[in-house]
A and B are shown apart, each in its own frame.
Chain A
Amino acid sequence: MTSKRDKQVLGQKLLAAFRDAGAVEIAPDILLPAESLLDLYGEDIRARAYVTADPIRGEMMLRPDFTVPVVQAHMENGAEPARYCYLGEVFRKQDMGDTRPENPRDNEYLQAGFELFSREASADAEIFALFHRLLPPYGVRSETGDMGLLRDAVRGLPLPDPRRDALLHHIWRPVRFQRLLARFSTPAMARDFPVTRASWAGLRSESEMVTRIARLRADAATAPLPAIWSERLDRLFAVRGPAPEALAALRELVSDWPGIAPAVERIETRFAAIADAGIDPAQVVFDASHGRTTMEYYDGFTFSFLAGHPDWPPLATGGRYDALTAVLGKGRAIPAVGGIIRPGLLAELEAT
């Protein structure tokens, strides 16, 4: 067991390296207003974060991650480009299912993070190269993805807007996405909306229902999505391998799917920049599905660094979250990319 103090020392070293990389240190509160976090993450966060009550401030949450408070601080008074770093605890509870795990995960642990708000396209490679340099050269592998690629792929499907928007909305939820795709790929069934005698009740208005029924009726006339497209989507989601091989597979898909060409080009440019930083792209995995099961706010480049231990969470994770800044910035938006390292895991890794 590595002591908390040793983890803290390692965290300070990472923080110093982030400062050397041009970041300003910030120290967000530990107790955060629950409302904006709940609105953003939904019930998933309530299952994982410690929620407590303040008689005056209302529902508060023990910091489940740093991204939201850092973005809020930047949107309030930051100038661009801006680089921020931080070190501190995050708190996550584990809501086990029917059986208590033998080794419960840590419910409080350190995160050392770096966030970059910049309009430069090179920001992705900058973060990745920085993390790569700070993590041990052996026994750690890196995996990357790109949610922008998947979003462009869905936008490029020959579908009417309502169907396309529904798929885009659920891109982070593979089961729901697959159900929708299966439904759109078979002939639509006309549906009955039997009249009831019940009087209207609740906040959802009758006109909202009428709008949806009209949409469903129009949808019933839509031709099914040709099977070739779900096959292509399956092929795309399955692209995984060392970056040069994965990129070759993506280029093959582009000829049938021109909508993904710009995204594939972006990924190529990113890996060229990563190579310029002295990292061999053949040592970096590109997995097209990488970002799909992560936090919903990542909408572009995503990455994680993994140790060899199968039951460990990643040593480091991060990605691009442009849309999040728009949501929290109340109309203002700024491209942003960032990530965290878990000094505790790193300390354990170095101790073994």
Chain B
Amino acid sequence: MIRLGVPSKGRLMEQTFDWFADRGVRLSRSGSDREYAGRVDGADGLSLVLLSAGEIPRELRAGRIELGVTGTDLVREKLAGWRSDIVEIAGMGFGHADLILAVPECWRDCETLDDLSSIARDFRAAHGFRLRIATKYHRLVRAWLAHHEIADYQLVDSQGATEGTVANQTAEAIADITSSGETLRANNLKILSEEPILRSQATLFASRAAMGPEMDRFLSQLGMAA
């Protein structure tokens, strides 16, 4: 039996259902809209588990599901050493979002990461504490800033409404996921002109421990090799 974890609501769920339908596997929610039980037609030995997208990485690693659909950002942020446990099967072509670093639009002197590095140094000297970057992607952002040898900053945790932290003076910059950039612009923030920290999309992942003949058969039914 292969258990497939799929985000339990919203566009991500619908687009996942469409993606599988295009490949001959019909997924649906059984019963009412409020019920988180799933139904599968067109594939033997596959069961559908509806989960919060954020829990899918953890469930894959724990071996409670064998396949899962979630964003690359969530896997990379939540699972240190993810490649040891999880295989990336296919990007699914939707749910695109970039993890970016944004600063106040009024900072006319800040276009690049080099600018931010220099501003952080000045800020720390003037205010007596490190420039604050609000994010919920702590590991990804820290690793990226460490790679670029940015000093004089600190991360502050923000689990939601991150774009508002600058106006509220609880952070000087933010690192967050964006697809259109509209929320950023509405909050008078601009993206640094650097490559994004991560380009994310909805991706089909498999647990490494579940790879084998059964998984191969199902993946070739979908038209892809493991």
Check if B142 sits within 8 Å of A212, measured CB to CB. no
Pick from A46, A166, A195, A203: contact of B108, CB below 8 A.
A195
By the criterion of a CB under 8 Å from any partner CB, how many residues of chain B are at the interface? 43
Check if B143 sits within 8 Å of A97, measured CB to CB. yes
Interface string of B131-172 (1 = CB under 8 A from A): 100000001001101101111111100000000001101001
Is A47 an interface residue when CB atoms closer than 8 A count as contact? yes
Pick from B82, B119, B127, B148: contact of A98, CB below 8 A.
B82
Kindly list chain B residues whose C-beta atoms are within 8 Å of the C-beta of A101: 81
Pick from A39, A43, A99, A209: contact of B107, CB below 8 A.
A209
Check if A209 sits within 8 Å of B83, measured CB to CB. no
Check if B155 sits within 8 Å of A203, measured CB to CB. no
Is B71 an interface residue when CB atoms closer than 8 A count as contact? no
CA distance A212 to B122 in the complex (A): 8
**Contact A201/B188 with A99-B81, A173-B149 known, Cβ cut-off 8 Å:** yes
Kindly list chain A residues whose C-beta atoms are within 8 Å of the C-beta of B153: 42-43
B104 to chain A, nearest CB (A): 5
Is B130 an interface residue when CB atoms closer than 8 A count as contact? yes
CA distance A42 to B155 in the complex (A): 9
Q: Which among B82, B106, B146, B148 has the greatest number of chain A C-beta atoms within 10 A?
A: B106
CB nearest neighbor in A for B103: A202
Kindly list chain A residues whose C-beta atoms are within 8 Å of the C-beta of B1: none
Check if A96 sits within 8 Å of B81, measured CB to CB. yes
Check if B149 sits within 8 Å of A176, measured CB to CB. yes
CA distance A204 to B103 in the complex (A): 11
Is B84 an interface residue when CB atoms closer than 8 A count as contact? yes
Pick from B139, B145, B148, B172: contact of A204, CB below 8 A.
B172
B42 to chain A, nearest CB (A): 34
Is B121 an interface residue when CB atoms closer than 8 A count as contact? yes
Pick from A42, A95, A195, A202: contact of B139, CB below 8 A.
A95
B48 to chain A, nearest CB (A): 29
Q: Which of A93-150 contact B (CB under 8 A)?
A: 95-101
Check if B80 sits within 8 Å of A95, measured CB to CB. yes
Interface string of B18-60 (1 = CB under 8 A from A): 0000000000000000000000000000000000000000000
Check if A201 sits within 8 Å of B146, measured CB to CB. no
Check if A98 sits within 8 Å of B145, measured CB to CB. no
B35 to chain A, nearest CB (A): 37
A80 to chain B, nearest CB (A): 28
B179 to chain A, nearest CB (A): 22
B123 to chain A, nearest CB (A): 6
**Contact A204/B154 with A43-B142, A98-B82, A212-B122 known, Cβ cut-off 8 Å:** no
B125 to chain A, nearest CB (A): 10
Count A-B pairs with CB separation below 8 Å: 110
Is B70 an interface residue when CB atoms closer than 8 A count as contact? no
Check if B118 sits within 8 Å of A202, measured CB to CB. no
**Contact-residue bracket for chain A:** 35 or more
Check if A46 sits within 8 Å of B155, measured CB to CB. yes
CA distance A95 to B144 in the complex (A): 13
Kindly list chain A residues whose C-beta atoms are within 8 Å of the C-beta of B151: 42, 169-170, 173, 176
Kindly list chain A residues whose C-beta atoms are within 8 Å of the C-beta of B105: 196, 198, 201
Check if A209 sits within 8 Å of B169, measured CB to CB. no
Kindly list chain B residues whose C-beta atoms are within 8 Å of the C-beta of A46: 142, 155
Kindly list chain B residues whose C-beta atoms are within 8 Å of the C-beta of A173: 149, 151
Kindly list chain B residues whose C-beta atoms are within 8 Å of the C-beta of A97: 80-81, 143
Kindly list chain A residues whose C-beta atoms are within 8 Å of the C-beta of B81: 96-101
**Contact A166/B104 with A46-B155, A98-B82 known, Cβ cut-off 8 Å:** no
Interface string of A181-217 (1 = CB under 8 A from B): 0000000000001111011111110101101110010
Check if A204 sits within 8 Å of B121, measured CB to CB. no
Q: Which of B168-189 contact A (CB under 8 A)?
A: 169, 172, 188
CB nearest neighbor in A for B129: A39
Kindly list chain A residues whose C-beta atoms are within 8 Å of the C-beta of B104: 198, 200-202, 204
Q: Which of B74-90 contact A (CB under 8 A)?
A: 76, 80-85
Pick from A43, A200, A206, A212: contact of B145, CB below 8 A.
A43
> Can you report 11 residue pairs joining A to B where beta carbons are below 8 Å apart?
A47-B143, A95-B139, A99-B81, A99-B83, A100-B80, A101-B81, A166-B118, A166-B121, A169-B121, A201-B106, A206-B106
Known: A47-B143, A202-B169. 6 other contacts (CB 8 A): A38-B154, A95-B139, A97-B80, A166-B118, A176-B150, A198-B105
Chain A contact residues, CB within 8 Å of chain B? 38-39, 42-44, 46-47, 95-101, 166, 169-170, 173-176, 179, 193-196, 198-204, 206, 208-209, 211-213, 216
